[in-house]
Structure 1
Amino acid sequence: MEIATILSLGFLALVIVALAKTARIVPQRSAFIIERLGKYAKTLDAGFHILIPFVDRVAYKHTLKEEAIDVPSQACVTRDNIQVVVDGVLYLQVVDPKLASYGINDYRYASMQLAQTTLRSVVGKIDLDKTFEERETINVQVVEALDEAAKPWGVKVLRYEIADIELPATILDALEKQMRAERERRAVVAQSEGEREAKINVSEGQKQETINLSEADKQRQINEAEGKAREIELIATATAEGLRRVAEAINTQGGQEAVSLRVAEQYVKEFGKLAQTNNTMILPAELSNIGSAVAAITKTLETARK
């Protein structure tokens, strides 16, 4: 009875082991490499699969997800012989599980080593100043070189990113001094540009002020000239109008007698002023006969009227 129990338990264990080796569940975004009697048989995709017990076995398991591999820091020498320490991150993905299993022993280690050697080669072709400016170019060149080399491995290199670039202390100090000098130079240039703009603005203001003053003086002279011309015009018009009215008055009845009387009055008045302002007085020969003088002026007026 005990022997039967032991045999039953042994058979049950054998069945469990057989089932364990027969049934395989492959997770999503994964691939299993199956070998039959030590030789590649097939690749299992995600899902449930049945294998031949003790004949088939899972030789390799691969994830088809994108993997991020940290590339250790390494010393690189630039074209101008400056040593820098660079580290980065490599992103790759298995696209052919069979090649990833049999094309190379460890594609992760191989990709990491190849990334380091390629990075040293790329950095050695550029100067130190360009290593910070051309990170994108360095990343692209590393990816192109790795992707071409990784094709026989069934691996696709997606991208490479430089995480950090460390410089020697002496170079950092020199760069800091250079940056400080550059900032000071820019400050001096900016100040000089500001002063130049200020002087230009002041000169432009003075120029505009001079133009405005000259225009104002010109307009003042024009206005004064126009005022004087208008004044002369008005005086001439008034004088002409006065003379015209005097002429009309002379031609009226009694006009000549009025003129004669007015002339006589002015004659006497002006002669009186002369007598008051001078100690020596010259008397006209016809002083006793003012009427003859008035008659002479009247005759002149008649002659002018004819």
Structure 2
Amino acid sequence: MLNLVLLPILGVFLLLIIFSGIFIVKQQTSAVIERFGKFTSIRSSGLQLKIPLIDQVAGRINLKVQQLDVMVETKTKDNVFVKLKISVQFQVRQDNVYDAFYKLESPHDQITSYVFDVVRAEVPKMKLDDVFERKDDIAIAVNRELNEAMGDYGYDIIRTLVTDIDPDEKVKAAMNRINAAEREKVAAEYDGEAERIRIVAKARAEAESKRLQGQGIADQRREIARGLEESVDVLNNVGINSQEASALIVVTQHYDTLQAIGEQTNSNLILLPNSPQAGSEMLNNMVASFTASNQIGEAMKEQNLKKSEGLKNKPKDKNE
């Protein structure tokens, strides 16, 4: 009866022991096997066997590319505190799993320490603007230092990136003000240049307008003079002398001017003599002025004639 009870228990125990000797290793993973605390072997991915109760899986090593983000706060050459985010991509070499598992207790802490050391050695040599411009140089320096240090522990540093640069808030505000002022300066220069172009173009247009206006006035006056000359010729042909013709033309232009002013409803007020008596008086004054000028001219001619005759009748000197 006792045997019937112990046999199933013993069978179950044996099955558990057998199954404890079977284990699975995932893809891109290595398992470290120890026997009584001593390293025995490294098993790769797949179904693996070990001696039950004797061999133990001491640990598993991830062979995938991993990323560690490290935030470092340091000071630049121009005494500005800045935070840098360094992203380190690393991987355990498959043929160095033993070194990665037994030589290094905490790879993340080790990598972080080296990142801090390199960044705080490189950034204080640069000004804040240089940190932004030369972030690739910082990444290369960190990558070189980590490869030299972590290679002995079986780690490859795939890539190191400076993914963020965050200065102090007051510094960022000052930088934004500087950028805004610089952009306003450029905008003002462009506005000034545009205004200069507009002024030059306007001056050129006004000069061209004045030139054309002067040319038009000259042409107008030339045509007026030609018209007056033709009018005087026509009047002379019908027996009207030049003085009377000029007076008639002036009176005609006077009434033409009054008519033109009357047609302009928006013209300014101009006070002019517009009665027939005023035109007659103006005509009489002009005729009188022409007559007086003719009389003065005739008198001057007679005086010049007498002088010339006196010089001719003057007796010659005996000594001549």
Q: Aligned to 1:90, what secondary structure does the other structure show?
A: strand
> How many angstroms apart in 2 are the aligned matches of 1:200 and 1:91?
62
SS across alignment from 2:82: strand
Separation in structure 1 between the aligned mates of residue 205 and residue 146 of structure 2, nearest angstrom: 66
Structure 2 residue aligned with 1:97 = 97
For residues 184-203 of structure 1, the C-alpha deviation after alignment (integer angstroms, 9 at most, x for no partner) is: 22223333444566678889
Residue ranges of structure 2 left out of the alignment (5+ in a row): 209-320
1:87, 1:164 within 8 Å by CA — same for their partners in 2? yes
Aligned to 1:79: 77
**Aligned residue pairs, count:** 207
Structure index of larger Rg = 1
Aligned to 2:138: 138
SS of corresponding position for 1:158: strand
| Residue in structure 2 matched with residue 61 of structure 1 by the alignment | 60
3-state SS of paired residue (1:54): coil
Q: What's the CA shift for 1:181?
A: 1.7
Q: Compute the TM-score of the two structures, normalised by the length of structure 2.
A: 0.57
Structure 1 gap segments, 5+ residues each: 210-306
CA distance in 2, matches of 1:97, 1:104: 11
Q: Secondary structure at the match of 2:161?
A: strand
Q: Distance in 2 between matches of 1:205 and 1:42?
A: 95
User: Who is 1:187 aligned against?
Assistant: 187
Q: CA deviation at 1:204?
A: 10
> 1:1-306 to 2 correspondence within 5 Å?
1-20=1-20, 22-71=21-70, 73-95=71-93, 96-194=96-194
Structure 1 residue 120: deviation in Å? 2.1
The SS at the match of 1:132 is: helix
**Alignment-mate amino acid for residue 22 of structure 2:** A
Aligned partner of 2:228 in structure 1 is none
Seq. identity, %: 27
Asked whether the 8 Å contact 2:17–2:53 carries over to 1, the reply is no
- Measured after TM superposition, the shift of residue 11 of structure 1 is 4.6
SS in 2 for 1:146: helix
Q: How much is the aligned-residue C-alpha RMSD, in angstroms? A: 2.8
Measure how far apart 1:16 and its partner are.
1.2
Which amino acid letter does the alignment assign opposite residue 177 of structure 2?
K
Check conservation: 1:77, 1:83, Cα contact below 8 A: yes
1:241-297: CA deviations, max 9, x gaps?
xxxxxxxxxxxxxxxxxxxxxxxxxxxxxxxxxxxxxxxxxxxxxxxxxxxxxxxxx
TM-score between the two structures when normalised by the length of structure 1: 0.59
